[in-house]
Amino acid sequence: MDVYKITGENRLKGTIKVSGAKNSAVALIPASILANSPVTIGGIPEISDAWTLKALLEEIGGEVTFEDGKMTIDPTDMIALPLPNGNVKKLRASYYLMGAMLGRFKKAVIGLPGGCFLGPRPIDQHIKGFEALGARITNEHGAIYLRADELIGAKIYLDVASVGATINIMLAAVLAKGRTVIENAAKEPEIIDVATLLTNMGANIKGAGTSVIRIDGVEELHGTEHTIIPDRIEAATFMIMAAAVGEGITIDNVIPLHLEAIIAKLREMGVKIDIGEESIFVPKTDLNTLQAVDVKTLVYPGFPTDIQQPLAVLMSQVFGSSKVTDTIYTARFKHIDELRRMNANARVEGNTAIITGPSKLHGSTVTATDLRAGAALVLAGLLAEGETEIQEIYHIERGYSSLIEKLRDLGADIRRETNVARVAEAKE
């Protein structure tokens, strides 16, 4: 029922700090199930997905504390309780519980995961991997049942380089007997982060971040301490925001190597970017000097699908027609209709969006249809004349930690309000 209200056209200035990576956190937290003693993970973003996972680990008997971005998980007394409904339906990454619980208990019952609807995102590659390790998988009453007498290392070739499948197979394989080889593995930084945690817990993993990962199973894993990597998607969102409405913004706590594709594309548009060791500075950008570009989303290290939506807002401000082709998620263009409500000149043809600028954006009432579409609408609201109201903000808060506070510190006029009319409607 809560909404964001943004009064646009304020220029933003200062330093904004990037939180820990959402896509790492949602895998690192379930990975703790595999340990035989407490695991502490620092730098976890205070997002709803992290709180949901905390609740799920508590449901199966874990003792979990979470404060100031530090989560400590004691998995000692966990048991293989079925999780067919409830919290498990709230986030896509609940599927990591499958690999972790299968690895530790040799069985699991997990409800089919939820999260943002971006078109079909099947888990067939995950299941193929589990079956190769010796698990029997069935789908009963909308939940996935996983059972194994024992898990034995295998050679697994992924038909698509899926991040989720790569991590899930790693989680299941670290305690399996013998060697597992994952070929055509995804290479995202989050996979290296999960492999680093597992290695610190005593796992034997080689090749994370390359297309071939080798895992030699071990008898047991122990607790450890780990700090999560910075969120490259959040960093990229802030870089685009700095180009669109900044008077000079420093984005702090970044790994520039993880942002190469985005930096290259922004520079191609004409945005100036100064790269430090762990920070990026974007000086004031004259939007009149920027030019249209074409973007095609690809798996890492290509241009991330998560960033094409915020980038579309910047594209609406530059002269000429830009094209975005999304090869990852074909349904990831729901933000285009919302941007059109704000006077953007944009259309979708198949898996390509065509955005023609420059357009003066006007404040409007719009809906966040998914996490990154929501980020795009926040950016559009900051640019637009007048007031923008964004509904369904729970999507945004699944992935961006303390967003309002961070933006207000830069000078943005953004607040969270309860939509009284919608509360009344719901009561009726």
Burial of 211 (0-12, 13-18, 19+ CB in 10 A): middle
Catalytic residue among 71, 116, 182, 336: 116
Q: Is 291 annotated as a binding residue?
A: no
Q: Is 22 annotated as a binding residue?
A: yes
Distance of CA 188 to the CA centre of its chain: 12
Q: Is 288 annotated as a binding residue?
A: no
Which parts of 127-285 are beta strand (E)?
136-140, 143-147, 155-157, 179-183, 204-206, 212-216, 225-227, 246-252, 274-275, 279-282
Backbone angles phi, psi at 136, to 5 degrees: -105, 130
Distance between CA atoms of 163 and 155, rounded to whole angstroms?
A: 17
| Residues whose CB is less than 8 angstroms from the CB of residue 330 and which lie 6 or more positions away in sequence, other chains included | 119, 351
Q: Is 23 annotated as a binding residue?
A: yes
Tokens read off for 1: 């029922």
DSSP state of 399: T
Other C-beta atoms closer than 10 Å to the C-beta of 296 total 15
Q: Is 116 a catalytic residue?
A: yes
Instruction: Give CA separation, 2 vs 334, 392, 395, 398, in Å.
Output: 21, 8, 12, 14
Count how many residues are written for the chain: 428
Q: Is 122 annotated as a binding residue?
A: yes
* Distinct helix (H) and strand (E) counts, the chain: 14, 23
Q: Is 125 annotated as a binding residue?
A: yes
Distance between CA atoms of 198 and 200, rounded to whole angstroms?
A: 5
| End-to-end CA gap in the chain | 14
Distance of CA 88 to the CA centre of its chain: 17
- Cα angle 196-206-158, degrees, rounded to a multiple of 5: 100
Q: Is 121 annotated as a binding residue?
A: yes
Q: Is 337 annotated as a binding residue?
A: no
Burial of 383 (0-12, 13-18, 19+ CB in 10 A): buried
Tokens read off for 71: 């989560």
Q: Collapsing DSSP states into helix, strand and coil, what is residue 141?
A: coil
Detail the residues annotated as belonging to a binding site for UDP-N-acetyl-alpha-D-glucosamine.
Answer: 92, 121-125, 306, 328
Detail the residues annotated as belonging to a binding site for phosphoenolpyruvate.
Answer: 22-23
Detail the residues annotated as belonging to a binding site.
Answer: 22-23, 92, 121-125, 306, 328
**Annotated catalytic sites, by residue?**
116
